[in-house]
Amino acid sequence: MSHSEPTTSKKWQIIGAILALSSALVYTFYGVLIKKYECNFVDNMFIRSIVQIPLVAILVKLRKKNILLEFPEQATRKDKMKKYAILIGSGLLIGFNEHIAYLGVLYIPLGTAMTIIYSAPIFTMIFSFVFLRIKQGLFKIFFALILIVGVLLVIRPPFLFPHLKPNVEPHPISNQTVANTNQTSPAEDPSETKDNIYWIGVAICVVTAACTGLISVVFNYLQDVDTGVAVFWSGCMSILCSLAFLSIDQDSHIFFKGNLNWTYMGELFALGSLGICAVWMVTTSCQLLDPTINSVLRAQQVIFAFVAQTIVSQVLPYYLTFIGAGFVVLSAVCMPLEKYVKAKFPEKLRRFI
């Protein structure tokens, strides 16, 4: 018996690792399809939520869980209302975050979007300190600074890189000779509209990273809530977010234009199914795998995104983008290793690291 238990545990860890890495691939493919189909973001998230709610409800019931929150007998009415308020608030935050993340991927190159979104640990550190009073050591602060440098190299803001055009895709991979080779971004589109769209996309991705960091902190408070229950409620709140976004979006085919066809609906269901599949993979891998290993494997999504951008879009990123993305991946890999690094130092130094 003693031999079978470690074997079984190792088997589930391998499955968790496969799911973590697969989720990075699925999310990358999801981003590729977002750019290929260019479906309306409200339509996409609305259909995804419609599919997600009954599916998750069935899975929760099969696991003999209750969709409503369960409380101990000594819980007061105030405690219950607070828990539901945080659960509903987190659901709205997740719904909002998924909507704007879709727009961010749609507006800027896939690799750039994923790199910015993976700056979420910076915001997690900030919100953890503000709301949970968790102090951050030198180890995390050091790699947070590296992460910030990486993101700046990827987006290349004009006040730091006045001679570069961060909004312009570098030259496509082709057999044609690229003219004016001393330009930093050869395939340049001078239109002011494209500039504005790029920076709007960057801003959206930064907000997405901030929301992701805040969601991590909120889930720390809701860690006793079943994951399936939390996903069910986030699906319900996502529908409300879709309806709210209709006030600023008049391009919805479902709610305004009405010119739906089987091809468009098929694209929406494909995107929705991929999104739900990726969420399920991430959730399951978190339950089966050590958080550190899970974070390291999922960080490979940034690399996958640039590979997909190069192959599918036939666009080779600028060399500073590669360096910046490398810094981001390095930070994403090293930050979760904090507990192992601290263990190597004397007791007196651990409080500072």
Instruction: Judge contact between 122 and 148, C-beta under 8 A.
Output: yes
- Residue 165 pLDDT class (50, 70, 90 cuts): low
What is the average per-residue pLDDT within 232-256?
91
Look up the domain containing 138 and give its range: 9-174+184-350
- Is residue 135 exposed (0-12), middle (13-18) or buried (19+ Cβ within 10 Å)? exposed
**Could you tell me if residue 179 is inside a domain?**
no
**Could you tell me if residue 306 is inside a domain?**
yes
Kindly report, residue by residue over 82-117, the tens digit of the pLDDT: 889 999 998 899 899 999 999 999 889 899 999 999
**Could you tell me if residue 2 is inside a domain?**
no
Kindly report, residue by residue over 292-301, the tens digit of the pLDDT: 677 778 888 8
- List Cβ neighbours of 10 (8 Å cut-off, separation of 6 or more): none
**Could you tell me if residue 123 is inside a domain?**
yes
Instruction: Judge contact between 47 and 272, C-beta under 8 A.
Output: yes
**Could you tell me if residue 1 is inside a domain?**
no
What does pLDDT average to over the chain?
Answer: 82
Decide which of 75 and 266 is more confident: 266
**Could you tell me if residue 4 is inside a domain?**
no
**Could you tell me if residue 3 is inside a domain?**
no
- List Cβ neighbours of 156 (8 Å cut-off, separation of 6 or more): 164, 166, 320
Q: For the chain, how many structural domains are there in total? A: 1
Torsion on CA atoms 346, 347, 350, 352, rounded to nearest 10: -100
Instruction: Judge contact between 91 and 236, C-beta under 8 A.
Output: yes
Candidates 289, 215, 283; CA nearest to 59 is 283
Whether 194 has a pLDDT exceeding 60, the answer reads: yes
Candidates 228, 263, 262, 275; CA nearest to 51 is 275
**Could you tell me if residue 264 is inside a domain?**
yes
